[in-house]
Amino acid sequence: MSQTDKEVATPPKRAGKMKWIVGGILLLIAAAAAMNLPRGYSDDLSRIGKGKAVVVLVHNKNSPESIELMQVLDDVRGKYSGRVEFLLTEPNTPQGSAFMAASNAPQVSLVLFDANGKQLKILGIPQTVGNVQQEIAGAFGVAP
């Protein structure tokens, strides 16, 4: 086999490795995107006023501040299981736009409703876990 034949045989091995590398990078990007998706949040806003206190996260998935607020809420909501319902709406949907207009809520915020559906408070950004817990305790009278 001449030197020229060896050089011709090498590129397919590199091309195969590149496919695996590119595939791995795409898999990592997909996993990171999936981690940023809202998990466990209902978008059924008709549940407001149905006998349970509600916190609505107005979530703009393109906003880093909104992702941070969702992480805060993820840390908080398990402590109120069965006592406070956590819902989500997106501002770029008809339902989300209507909710924002009706509640006067900004694109990245938490809106607190009592069990009868009365809007109690809007929390803007930034928020901390401790602050959100304090606001929920004050609005609903429930400790974590």
The CATH number of whichever domain residue 107 belongs to comes to 3.40.30.10
Closest to 41 (Cα-Cα) out of 16, 65, 66: 66
pLDDT reported for residue 37 = 46
| Residues 130 and 89 occupy one common structural domain | yes
Which tens digit of pLDDT belongs to each residue from 20-42? 777 677 666 655 544 554 457 99
pLDDT reported for residue 21 = 74
Q: 30 lies in which domain range?
A: 1-35
| Residues 126 and 60 occupy one common structural domain | yes
Q: Is residue 12 predicted with pLDDT exceeding 70?
A: no
Which tens digit of pLDDT belongs to each residue from 59-76? 998 999 999 999 999 999
Long-range CB pairs of 69-73, under 8 A, 24+ apart, other chains included = 69/108, 69/109, 69/110, 69/125, 69/126, 69/127, 70/38, 72/127, 72/128, 72/129, 72/132, 73/110, 73/132
| Residues 59 and 100 occupy one common structural domain | yes
| Residues 65 and 111 occupy one common structural domain | yes
> Model pTM?
0.72
Q: 5 lies in a domain?
A: yes
For the chain, what is the domain count?
2
